[in-house]
Structure 1
Amino acid sequence: MPATPKLPSLLNSHLSRQRVFAQLSSKSREALAGQFTRASATAGATLLAQGQLPQQLGLILNGSVRLSDPDLNLSVLLEAGDLFGFGATPTPQLATWQAVAAADCELAWLPAQALVQLCNKHVQLAYFLPSLQPVHLPATEQNQQVNESSTALNLLSTPIRTLIKRAPITLAPNTSIQATAVLMRDLRVSSVLLVEQGLLFGLVTDRDLRNRVVALNLDISRPVSDIATLAPMTVSANSPAFEALLLMARHNIHHVPVMEGGNILGMITATDLTEQHSTSAVYMAGDIYKQSTLDGLKSISTRVRQLQQNLAVADASAYSTGHIITAITDAITTRLIHLAEAQLGPAPIDYVWVAAGSQARNEQTAKSDQDNCLILDDAFDETAHGGYFRAFSKFVCDGLAECGYIHCPGDMMAMTDTWRQPRHIWADYFRKWVDSPKPKSLMLTCVFFDLRAIHGQAELLDGLRQQVVQHTRGNSLFLAHMVSNALKHRPPLGMFGQITLSKGGDKPHTIDLKHTGIVPIVDLARVYALAAGVTVANTHDRLEQSAQAGEVTEQSARDLRGALEFLGKLRIAHQARQMAQGQAPDNFLALEDLSNFERSHLKDAFSVVQTLQGVLSQRYSGGRF
């Protein structure tokens, strides 16, 4: 690959037309052009072998380059103007893919360190360079918050056991409160575990000593078990830190014991996960539970967009991002319920507030409306209880709208009388929808078969869910109608496998990542789950469990999960870019915002969905439900 002399002026012309480097000023591009080295190659020449892509960034000036993974027999074709190598090629492919000249070509090469130095000065370029880790950037005043939150959020894939800092501090339950406080002071710990006969009995934190002892003037000679949290929530040592973060965020707790089977390995705290109070889901949830007014909740809800931006920069998975963003929605919903009960008084009968749609599936992004309902105990009496629950549900739904979760356009909310009913009425709803699967029934099924309890008596939903699953599993007529309904959402692929763009509407010439990409996968997973009797709501988990039940092949489920993750990350990154530019987030992606590499993967994702829709359609036609 013979090198030719550097030609800064000619390279500057190329850089000004390249979508990443066009972000720079003319002066900055001129300086950058001097750091590139031009080279030419003939068709078939190896440009970068496996393992060499992380060494430098390549810009195709003319001709074409094929990136491939020879082990997996995967490849994409890049053309003039495309980037590849360090920074441009996504991290999962960086170490295993190679670059070969697909035709005679000219290229410009930039060393990896030079790209890092460039992004130190121009932080915004990191948004276009997926394998350029944010931790390379200096902690200046402008990017310190992004770097620190990104470092913390990279813990999402870290096993919890690696975060344990010391052996567990344990005491017998009959230890006095005073002796417990002395031990915590001497060892400088904020919590201890109570253990009896080798089994976890309870948990005591410094907050318990403050709130349950000092504030109440409790006798400190009493056993510490009197103030402990008994049977505390725990996490498995092999689980990712992401699960501990969710547990803390959802339940407003800051200490969680780490278990390996029945053995106690240690304690994990919110501080172990992240110190960034303003953007951490744990601390944001904690702030939510402290609010006593709607205005306070509204103020905190504005930080959800920043949270999603930081998750995108940290390269968190779409699966993790959906769970974390949804955990904040759950916290806001729960706090609004607390405020409603404080204003209206305790509920007169048992109820459960239930999330539907994307919130139920733990798949929300910063752009979400609300879908919810209320299941009431069968002791409900309209005359005695109707007024309370009307005011209660309106308070919560209106509060969610004030916090940015707009009212459902189809009025599928608990504040609507139809969706605020006792349990036996809900059972009638589901029975009617399953037995008479008309178009409206199928639409309602798609919303209300994705349900998750948020607050209240979860048993009201659990028993109902079991009844529904028993009624749908093996119900060939109902499942056939569900398949027909699922096939209404098709990926945007033309006859020859080309991506077709929208032609009308408010966003012409774009791809609707939600309705033509993600929703078809959600619909397929729902059908698989109903056929297999799977009760989880999350799409990724439905695919995994449906494969285990034999309703879909392991390979097909894996392909769909991969497509879902890729499309989800595209959507999250797209919305993060919009929010960074002060725009309202949406789901409409312009094809020119993607590299040829990304376009190729987008086609692959759509093709997977299209193929499995065809398989499901054939199975329906053959009557093999």
Structure 2
Amino acid sequence: MNQQTPLRARVFRGVRPPVTLPPDASVREAARVMRDERVSCILVTAAGTLTGIFTDRDLRNRVVAADLDGTTPIAQVMSPGPVSLEARASAFDAMLLMSRHNIRHLPVTRDGVLEGCITTTNLVRLQAPSAVYLVGDLHKQETAEGMAAVLRPLPELVWRLADAGLSASNIGHVVSALTDAATVRLVRLAEKALGPAPVPYAWAAAGSQGRQEQTAFSDQDNCLILDDTYDEAVHGAYFTAFTRFVCDGLNVCGYVHCPGGTMAMTPTWRLPVREWKALFRRWVEEPDPKALMLSSIFFDLRLVRGPKALFEAVQGPALERARQNRAFLAHLARHALGHQPPLGFFRHLVLERGGENANKLDLKHKGLIPIIDLARVHALAAGVAAVNTQERLDLVRERGGLSPEGAANLRDALEFIALTRVRHQARRSREGQALDNFLAPADLSPLERSYLKDAFGVVKTMQSALAHVFQVGRL
């Protein structure tokens, strides 16, 4: 893969030296410095340490619009504790961080020492795709229809990311960040329309969004964790309307309603902490087929909006309960082995039979899902809280749950299969066809087919090892 593409360039290429002022400098002085230096932000430092950032937006919204005096110290109107990035990072890392936090200025440090600041304008000069701008535009919209218009270029963005040489893993993080931004904006619009929530809540994503592995529009998988002060009789109507607003809005944006109803607007998946704990306890202690299917969904939860403590009050006990229950892990391992890679004897590819996808490979259910399932079982056995598949494999390796070679092989297999799917979907999108996960082997070069067979072979080997470790044959 080309290591010299703009998105892989060191972020320091786009950084100008820092323009700084102390916290007690006045907003008038800050405005003059911004004008004279032709910058859109001031980095606020005290004793050489970055303490805040003051931007042109802060000047408009917090000073001029609030009718504050020009002598006001910038410490009163700055954004304290800004997100920052190491100079060794890439332009992609900057783009992803700015997209996740909906910011347009990012301080850059080297070993803790302030080096400068990169802006969205700098990223444009580095030819970075417009994910940052899409996130910014999403947060400006007042309707789901407006958000859908902003997200319309998403397929083109994926093409550009792939053409820029990004990995499938990186593309998944960018696309998922956009889904997160759409979710957060809809949550805010729901609160604006319905009023503040009567009790604290945490909005969590599952599925590919939860794992930060989205590569295109997909059906939504989400749920709501409510504080234990929740009373259905008192608060139920609010959260029924609230979750309907958000889920319907996501549907308008292109993230269609989950066919299985795994959404926060379904009462089953809108529960207080105590009831979520009871659900996870039942799934672990009574691992019937339905419990295993639901475990595969809800052990991939990731917080999108709300108090971290509320989310962790459910996730923490669930992870510990799963880690300690070897019987549950064995059943989950057997469930994971239900998805076999399409590789037969003598390394021939096993294609779909019958129907519109006959003679094609199912890259999702027989390529990616087996690796995702493997990583989940090993992560739960090792007590790993991460849900992204690549992160799970790395952390399990660090804890001794997988050999360095096994983890590396699975990472490589996952990346190759996922990137093959991204390129397949990009090709179909460019041709005006509906996106799918079914690839005709004839669309691959002989070398690509060989690599794909190698990837499937890795998965089969690691599945055999999983069955042995968890003694699946004794169930």
Q: Give the TM-score band, short-chain normalised.
A: over 0.9
TM-score (norm: length of structure 2)? 0.96
Name the structure where helix makes up a greater proportion of residues. 2
Looking at structure 2, the residues matched to 470 and 291 of structure 1 have their Cα atoms a distance apart, in angstroms, of 41
Among 285, 309, 324, which residue is 2:174 paired with?
A: 324
Looking at structure 2, the residues matched to 339 and 570 of structure 1 have their Cα atoms a distance apart, in angstroms, of 37
Q: Which residue of the partner structure matches residue 461 of structure 2?
A: 611
Contact 2:91/2:128 (<8 A) preserved: no
Give CA deviations for 1:11-41 in whole Å, capped at 9, x if unaligned.
Answer: xxxxxxxxxxxxxxxxxxxxxxxxxxxxxxx
Among 154, 157, 167, which residue is 1:304 paired with?
A: 154
Equivalent runs, 1:44-83 vs 2, <5 Å: none
Among 300, 303, 318, which residue is 1:468 paired with?
A: 318
1:235 lines up with 2:52 in the alignment: no
Which has the higher mean CA deviation after the structures are superposed, 563-572 or 291-300?
A: 291-300
1:556 lines up with 2:406 in the alignment: yes
Q: Which residue of the partner structure matches residue 294 of structure 1?
A: 144
Looking at structure 2, the residues matched to 287 and 276 of structure 1 have their Cα atoms a distance apart, in angstroms, of 21
Among 24, 30, 33, which residue is 1:180 paired with?
A: 30
Looking at structure 1, the residues matched to 196 and 68 of structure 2 have their Cα atoms a distance apart, in angstroms, of 28
Contact 2:53/2:78 (<8 A) preserved: yes
Give the C-alpha shift of residue 304 in structure 1. Answer: 1.0
Give CA deviations for 1:491-514 in whole Å, capped at 9, x if unaligned.
Answer: 001122211101023311100100
- Say which SS state the counterpart of residue 426 (structure 1) adopts: helix
Give the C-alpha shift of residue 362 in structure 1. Answer: 0.6
Q: Which residue of the partner structure matches residue 621 of structure 1?
A: 471
Looking at structure 2, the residues matched to 240 and 557 of structure 1 have their Cα atoms a distance apart, in angstroms, of 25
Q: In angstroms, what is the RMSD of aligned CA positions?
A: 1.8
Gap change, CA 1:155 and 1:428, over 3 Å in 2: farther
Looking at structure 1, the residues matched to 243 and 348 of structure 2 have their Cα atoms a distance apart, in angstroms, of 47
Among 174, 179, 191, which residue is 2:41 paired with?
A: 191
Give the C-alpha shift of residue 439 in structure 1. Answer: 0.6
Q: Give the letter aligned to residue 181 of structure 1.
A: A
Q: Give the letter aligned to residue 600 of structure 1.
A: S
Equivalent runs, 1:429-440 vs 2, <5 Å: 429-440=279-290
Among 252, 265, 275, which residue is 2:102 paired with?
A: 252
Give the C-alpha shift of residue 277 in structure 1. Answer: 10
- Say which SS state the counterpart of residue 290 (structure 1) adopts: coil
- Say which SS state the counterpart of residue 496 (structure 1) adopts: helix
Give CA deviations for 1:268-314 in whole Å, capped at 9, x if unaligned.
Answer: 11111126999510001111111112221121121111111222222
Give CA deviations for 1:343-384 in whole Å, capped at 9, x if unaligned.
Answer: 111111111111001001110021411000000111101111
- Say which SS state the counterpart of residue 345 (structure 2) adopts: coil
Structure 2 residue ranges without an equivalent (≥5): none
Q: Give the letter aligned to residue 51 of structure 2.
A: F
Q: Give the letter aligned to residue 238 of structure 2.
A: Y
Among 325, 328, 334, which residue is 1:478 paired with?
A: 328
Which has the higher mean CA deviation after the structures are superposed, 497-506 or 375-384?
A: 497-506
Gap change, CA 1:199 and 1:276, over 3 Å in 2: closer
Looking at structure 2, the residues matched to 387 and 278 of structure 1 have their Cα atoms a distance apart, in angstroms, of 44
Give the C-alpha shift of residue 406 in structure 1. Answer: 1.0
TM-score (norm: length of structure 1)? 0.74
1:516 lines up with 2:358 in the alignment: no
Q: Which residue of the partner structure matches residue 256 of structure 2?
A: 406
Number of residue pairs aligned between Structure 1 and Structure 2: 474
Rg: which structure is higher? Answer: 1
Give CA deviations for 1:126-167 in whole Å, capped at 9, x if unaligned.
Answer: xxxxxxxxxxxxxxxxxxxxxxxxx9xx3332232333222x
Q: Which residue of the partner structure matches residue 113 of structure 1?
A: none
Name the structure where strand makes up a greater proportion of residues. 1
Gap change, CA 1:276 and 1:158, over 3 Å in 2: closer
Give the C-alpha shift of residue 623 in structure 1. Answer: 9.3
Give the C-alpha shift of residue 215 in structure 1. Answer: 1.4
- Say which SS state the counterpart of residue 258 (structure 1) adopts: strand
- Say which SS state the counterpart of residue 492 (structure 1) adopts: coil
Give the C-alpha shift of residue 342 in structure 1. Answer: 1.1
1:587 lines up with 2:437 in the alignment: yes
Equivalent runs, 1:138-537 vs 2, <5 Å: 154-166=5-17, 168-274=18-124, 280-537=130-387
Looking at structure 2, the residues matched to 277 and 298 of structure 1 have their Cα atoms a distance apart, in angstroms, of 25
Contact 1:277/1:284 (<8 A) preserved: no
Give CA deviations for 1:531-552 in whole Å, capped at 9, x if unaligned.
Answer: 1111111101110111001000
Gap change, CA 1:408 and 1:223, over 3 Å in 2: same
Give every structure 1 segment of 4 or more consecutive aligned residues whose post-TM-superposition deviation is greater than 4 Å.
275-279
Looking at structure 2, the residues matched to 198 and 231 of structure 1 have their Cα atoms a distance apart, in angstroms, of 14
Looking at structure 2, the residues matched to 201 and 342 of structure 1 have their Cα atoms a distance apart, in angstroms, of 32
Looking at structure 1, the residues matched to 176 and 198 of structure 2 have their Cα atoms a distance apart, in angstroms, of 29
Give the C-alpha shift of residue 237 in structure 1. Answer: 2.1
Contact 2:6/2:128 (<8 A) preserved: no
Which has the higher mean CA deviation after the structures are superposed, 606-615 or 240-249?
A: 240-249
Looking at structure 1, the residues matched to 397 and 432 of structure 2 have their Cα atoms a distance apart, in angstroms, of 42
Which has the higher mean CA deviation after the structures are superposed, 306-315 or 568-577?
A: 306-315
Which has the higher mean CA deviation after the structures are superposed, 230-239 or 611-620?
A: 230-239
Q: Give the letter aligned to residue 9 of structure 2.
A: T
Give the C-alpha shift of residue 622 in structure 1. Answer: 7.9
Contact 1:174/1:223 (<8 A) preserved: yes
Give the C-alpha shift of residue 588 in structure 1. Answer: 0.3
Looking at structure 1, the residues matched to 358 and 155 of structure 2 have their Cα atoms a distance apart, in angstroms, of 25
